[in-house]
Amino acid sequence: MKEFKTNKKAFDSQVKIYKSLRRILLTKPLSDVTVADISQECGISRSTFYRNFNNVIEVLELMLDYFYKRYLDERVDKPNQLLFFFEYWRYHRDLINIIYTQNESILKDCIKRYDMNKYDNPYLLDLKVSILSSILCNWSNLKKNTPKEMEEITRTILEKKCIDILIDYN
């Protein structure tokens, strides 16, 4: 996984590339975006792009990784972790929505990467990743509930026994 460069000029290029990709994704699916599209949009050379990233998807991965690390650092001392989760991601819903509509596995891989060592049970890890990514993606897509409402909705859903949710067909 690439990281943000410490050199100011390289860092500025990475941010510029990301912002250009975001603008392009308003009109074109991620699978059709090329390095040439990004280079033209932000006025950089292809070699500048490749000095910073290996491919187009890595641009989104780097940004999500950056925000996810910040979320993990900031949540440490929050009394209501679930509410903070929604409060934090409210400011990044547009990025989550882009990832959701373009390549949801980027989000799932990011969550899994940071929680992989916390669980001995791979099924439990997959359950957590699936729940978090599904709730976050749908909320980002719908854009209608406040963080407080999402906390309440999530608590209500998760208070129901998981087995009941899995076998309920009505």
Q: Are 83 and 42 members of one domain?
A: no
Per-residue pLDDT tens over the stretch 26-42: 889 988 999 999 999 99
Percentages (nearest 5) of helix, strand, coil residues in the chain = 75, 0, 25
Determine the average pLDDT of the residues in 96-117: 90
- Which residues are CB-contacts of 11 (< 8 A; sequence separation ≥ 6)? 4, 5
How many structural domains comprise the chain? 2
d(CA 87, CA 23): 25
Report the chain's mean pLDDT, rounded to a whole number.
89
Q: In terms of pTM, does the model score above 0.75?
A: yes
- The domain of 26 spans 8-54
pLDDT-derived band of residue 21, with 50, 70 and 90 as boundaries? Answer: very high
Q: Are 69 and 148 members of one domain?
A: yes
Would you say residue 2 lies in a domain?
A: no
CATH code for the domain of 39: 1.10.10.60
Q: Which of 81, 139, 136 is nearest to 111 (CA)?
A: 136
